[in-house]
Structure 1
Amino acid sequence: LSATLHRDLSSIFHFLSCLRDRMSGPEMVPADLEQLVGVIRQQAVEIVSLRQELVHFRAEITALHAETAALRAECADLRSDLTALQADHDDLAVAQAPPAEPIRQPPPVSHPKISLPDKWDGSGTKCDVFLTNLNLVFEFQPSRYPTDRSRIALLTSLLTGQAAEWATAVLKADGDIAHSYPAFTTELRTVFQHPESEVEVDSRLYHLKQGSRSVSRYTTEFRTLAVQTTWSNAALRTAYYEGLSIRLKDELAVRELPDTLEGMIQLALRVDQRMSHSTKSVFRSFTGPP
């Protein structure tokens, strides 16, 4: 750097000497010449000073670059150490963590086993019984028959005779009722169900007799007809009693009769059961060993 400055100063002073020789003619005033030389010398000194400052700044910038590079290297080392620490922490957390519990699968949904209704040909008065049994299947086994079409398919598979022919025609037509279980069953009822009039039900209930059946069988048919009437409880009680067999009435004659239908039914069932046991005991006594 000093050699460079020396060369620059030598060049400036050499230029000034040449300039002074050229301008030493008679037309140049010596005072003006000296003033010009002084100005040039002053500028040369300032140039040298600026060059020195520039060199100093360059040295400082180089030092800053070196410091920045050192800081970057230090940051890289810190990042590497942090990554290693994080990996160690994760490994330690995994080692100390309790074993994960196995995922418990929900138990399979169990549905009560309900038998399908007997096949039906559309005749008689069993439409309500047939559809009621099917509705129980759909209610307690919804996952097996989730759609209207699956329910219609099951219903159709249980039809025979004229009912099956009607269902086949409906499905081939592919109308709205072929895709709606409620609409399908409504139409089925319209075609095949012929409900008894109130007078017919009343007549059947009035003339209903136990005959040779058990009280349990007689009671079941009586209840089925009774729910379809508007008879009072007293009227139903009287009709139920009148329909019992003469033998059972004889047994009830020595007892105090209940005032309600349900009480009469329970008493008749108990007496019938006792009579049945007595008959079996007598039969065994006659057929046993002497």
Structure 2
Amino acid sequence: HAHASGGVVSPGQEARGLPDIAHCRSAPPRQCPTFSGEFEDCFGFLLQCRLAFEESPKSFPTDSMKISFIIGLLRGKALRWAEAKSRNSDFLSGSYSDFLEEFKLTFCSSETTTDIRKRLLRLSQGRQSVVDMSLEFRTLAAMTSWGDEALKAVFIEALNDRVKNQLALCPEPPTLDGLITLCISIDKRHRELLKTASRDLSPPSAPRPSYRSPPLDASEEPMQVGRTHLTPEERHHRFSKGLCLYCGKPGHMVQSCPAASKGRAHQ
């Protein structure tokens, strides 16, 4: 059975609804990010380009097409580098492996392995979350040859004291991934507790006790007789003037009111 695109589709393939081979060959390469020459973006950029080459091999049958594809994504100082190199006619028609080696030497090697290890040892969580710190940690760790045990020690040292102290109470996970997962959990739980405590300790919008009158009975002071409850206006007046809500006199609050004490003593 001939497909409209010219490819031949097997009965089983047609039944499964799979695209024909010719369609797969014509699949466009993935969209890759541009690159401006920043060290921290170099390896990620080359990884995206490599994936494009592997996913669409028919789109890049020659080394020169791979080189042209990468140069088409360059911007800023990276493009200026390519412009300068293109004055040599062999630059665009040379081998891809030679181009890649020179590209890495120019843009991906501003930091030596020693520099990266120093950055890793200086890493500190500070006020950021363990999730954020672990992202930078993993990025740097991937560029070293250190094993899990060494990396675990470095990661623990980078934690802030709050997480480190809680971690000391837990059995140490056997793997680096397990350690990072545990620390993320500890940090997340602590941050949730801080939010809860902050809500519980938030001050009230107004001093509520000021609006509560103490229970009055037959032994209340003469000025209170017949007035079991203060009117809202009287309460506001006493509160705004700093007067006692029980006896209406200045110089003390209801908790230390002598008249209220006498009333309670007579009960």
TM-score normalized with structure 2 length = 0.56
The amino acid of 1:245's aligned partner reads: N
* 1:160 and 2:79 aligned: no
CA shift in 2, pair 1:178/1:161, >3 Å: farther
1:234 alignment partner AA: E
Partner of 1:133: 48
**Amino acid corresponding to residue 112 of structure 2 in structure 1:** S
Amino acid aligned to 2:157: E
Distance 1:113 1:282 in 2: 52
Report Cα offsets for 1:253-272 as digits up to 9, x if no partner: 43233344233112112223
Tell me, yes or no, if structure 1 residue 174 matches structure 2 residue 110: no
Secondary structure of the 1:173 match is: coil
Per-residue deviation, 1:204: 1.4
Question: 1:215: Cα distance to partner?
Answer: 1.5
The Cα RMSD (Å) is 3.5
1:116 aligns with 2:13: no
Is 1:204 the equivalent of 2:119? yes
1:235 to 2:145 alignment? no
Q: Which residue of 2 aligns with 1:183?
A: 98
Report how far residue 224 of structure 1 moved: 2.4
Q: 1:214 to 1:147 in 2, by over 3 A?
A: farther
In the alignment of these two chains, the number of paired residues is 187
Tell me how far apart the structure 1 counterparts of residues 113 and 65 of structure 2 sit (CA, whole Å).
36
Task: Output the CA distance in 2 between the equivalents of 1:147 and 1:225.
Answer: 34
Q: How does 1:35-74 map to 2 (within 5 A)?
A: none
Q: For residues 179 and 283 of structure 1, what CA distance do their matches in structure 2 show?
A: 64
Partner amino acid, structure 1, of 2:158 = G
The corresponding residue for 1:194 is: 109
Check the 8 A contact 1:112/1:140 in 2, yes or no.
no
Whole-Å Cα distance in 2 between the matches of residues 210 and 127 of structure 1?
A: 25
Q: Which deviations, in whole Å up to 9, do the C-alpha atoms of 1:182-211 show, x marking residues without a partner?
A: 222222223333253333222211111122
Q: Deviations over 1:119-168 (max 9, x none)?
A: 32324343222212211222223344443333222211221223212212
**What SS is found at the alignment partner of 2:57?**
coil
What letter corresponds to residue 99 of structure 2 in structure 1? F
Report the 3-state secondary structure (helix = DSSP H, G, I; strand = E; otherwise coil) of the residue aligned with 1:126.
helix
Q: Deviations over 1:36-90 (max 9, x none)?
A: xxxxxxxxxxxxxxxxxxxxxxxxxxxxxxxxxxxxxxxxxxxxxxxxxxxxxxx
Which residue number corresponds to residue 8 of structure 1? none
* Structure of higher CA gyration radius: 1
Structure 2: runs of 5 or more not aligned: 1-10, 206-267
Distance in 2 between the 1:114 and 1:214 partners? 33
- Map 1:248-259 onto structure 2 (within 5 A): 248-259=163-174
Runs of 4 or more off by more than 6 Å in structure 1? 110-113, 283-287
Q: Does 1:271 align with 2:189?
A: no
CA distance, structure 2, for counterparts of residue 285 and residue 140 of structure 1: 55
Of stretches 215-224 and 252-261 in structure 1, the one that deviates more from structure 2 is 252-261
- Whichever structure has more helix as a proportion of its residues is 1
Residues of 1 paired with 2:143 and 2:129: CA distance?
A: 23
Q: Is the 8 A contact 1:121 1:159 kept in 2?
A: yes
Query: 1:177, 1:183 within 8 Å by CA — same for their partners in 2?
Result: no
Within 2, Cα distance between the matches of 1:277 and 1:141? 47
Aligned positions of 1:6-25 closer than 5 A: none
Structure 1 residue runs without a partner (length 5+):
1-100
Q: Look up the equivalent residue of 2:156 and give its one-letter code.
A: Y
Q: What is the aligned partner in structure 2 of residue 53 from structure 1?
A: none
Name the stretch that deviates more: 276-285 or 252-261: 276-285
> Structure 2 CA distance, aligned partners of 1:182 and 1:158?
18
Please give the alpha-carbon distance, in whole angstroms, between the structure 1 residues aligned to 2:114 and 2:64: 38
For 1:216, the aligned partner's letter is: V
